[in-house]
Amino acid sequence: MTNFHESDRLAPEGEKRVALVDIDETICFYPEKRRYDLAKPSKENIDKINKLYDEGWHIVYWTARGGSEKSKRLGKCYYDFTWKQLESWGCKFHDLSTGTKGRNIKPPYDLVVDDKAKRIEEL
């Protein structure tokens, strides 16, 4: 029989807290075509994430950009473009993971069900 330990729901006080933050329709929006180079940053939403960074959170931008079957077939990787885009928008962050590159590859999906999820409007 396995001996289980009690786990904390969130990082204990004083330990590194990690926030995974989506990009598209979270910190940027598309007025017309949904093409990454046409994305318009939301300063208000970026400021919310930058505030978490300033409070000591470890910020990982986590996007499925490049992770769709179509993108994979075409050999698209948006990691470098996205990193530079985040910097140009004034985003404070520690790491980036996309659908093709990074420490935590993000798969494409249509719904997240999670006890720790929040919409940007809730911050």
Domains of the chain: 18-109 (3.40.50.1000)
Does residue 102 carry a pLDDT above 90? no
Specify the pLDDT at position 40. Answer: 97
Min mean pLDDT across 9-13, 14-18, 28-32 is at 9-13
For the entire predicted model, the pTM comes to 0.85
Contact 111, 72 (CB under 8 A): no
CB 79 within 8 A of CB 113: no
Mean pLDDT (the chain, rounded): 90
* 3-class secondary-structure state, position 49: helix
Q: What per-residue confidence (pLDDT) applies to 56? A: 94
For 55-65, what is each residue's pLDDT tens digit? 999 999 999 88
Contact 40, 29 (CB under 8 A): yes
Residue 85 in this model has a pLDDT that exceeds 90 = yes
